[in-house]
């Protein structure tokens, strides 16, 4: 019974917009075969246990493969941000997959207030193959 009350209170707070607006800033560089990977779509989400994950920000990498973004989400609990990176690194150019890029989740570390987290260089392909990579249409 107590669990039902807690869940109801959490859901009602979520639905009415209670909670604190929390932000997260991140920057990095994305490469494919050790070359800058431009026009890669990077989306930052907040993981939610009860509802659909919140899209906090979206950007495409620049010509030198870099990106910098800030996103926010209104939550009762601390946000749990992650990146989902959509790319065509290693694709053979088959027409079927033009709008269905490979993508994977990149988990972000915790950060301090007003800090920009630098994730360094994220290699889409190189010495290892990503086991968590999937193909999804966007």
Q: How far apart are CA 42 and CA 56, in angstroms?
A: 11
What pLDDT does residue 19 have? 86
What pLDDT does residue 27 have? 97
What pLDDT does residue 66 have? 98
Full residue range of the structural domain in which residue 59 is found? 19-135
9 within domain boundaries: no
pLDDT tens per residue across span 83-92: 999 988 877 6
Most confidently predicted of 11-20, 61-70, 100-109: 61-70
For range 63-84, the mean pLDDT: 95
Q: Is 32 helix (H, G, I), strand (E, B) or coil?
A: strand
pLDDT at 130 over 60: no
What pLDDT does residue 41 have? 95
3-state secondary structure 104-134: EEEECCCCCCCCEEEEEEEECCCCCCCCCCE
108 within domain boundaries: yes
CB 108 within 8 A of CB 81: yes
Q: Which of 6-10, 22-26, 76-80, 113-117 has the lowest mean pLDDT?
A: 6-10
CATH number, domain with residue 46: 2.60.40.3330
pLDDT band at 95 (very low <50, low <70, confident <90, very high): low
Backbone angles phi, psi at 4, to 5 degrees: -60, -40
55 within domain boundaries: yes
13 within domain boundaries: no
What pLDDT does residue 7 have? 54
pLDDT tens per residue across span 21-57: 999 999 999 999 899 999 899 999 999 988 899 999 9
107 within domain boundaries: yes
5 within domain boundaries: no
- H or E segment at 2? helix 2-15
14 within domain boundaries: no
pLDDT band at 104 (very low <50, low <70, confident <90, very high): confident
Distance, C-alpha 57 to centroid of its chain: 8
For range 95-116, the mean pLDDT: 78
């Amino acid at each position: 019974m107590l669990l039902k009350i807690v869940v109801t209170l959490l859901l009602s707070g979520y639905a009415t917009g209670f909670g604190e607006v929390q932000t997260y800033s991140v920057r990095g560089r994305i490469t494919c075969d050790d070359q800058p990977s431009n026009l890669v779509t990077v989306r930052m989400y907040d993981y939610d246990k009860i509802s659909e994950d919140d899209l906090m920000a979206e950007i495409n990498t620049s010509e030198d493969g870099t990106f910098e973004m800030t996103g926010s989400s209104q939550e009762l609990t601390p946000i749990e941000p992650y990146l989902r990176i959509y790319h065509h690194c290693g694709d053979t150019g088959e027409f079927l997959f033009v709008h269905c890029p490979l993508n994977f989740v990149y988990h972000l570390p915790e950060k301090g207030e007003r800090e920009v987290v630098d994730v360094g260089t994220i290699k889409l392909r190189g010495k290892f193959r990503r086991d968590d990579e999937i193909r999804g249409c966007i």
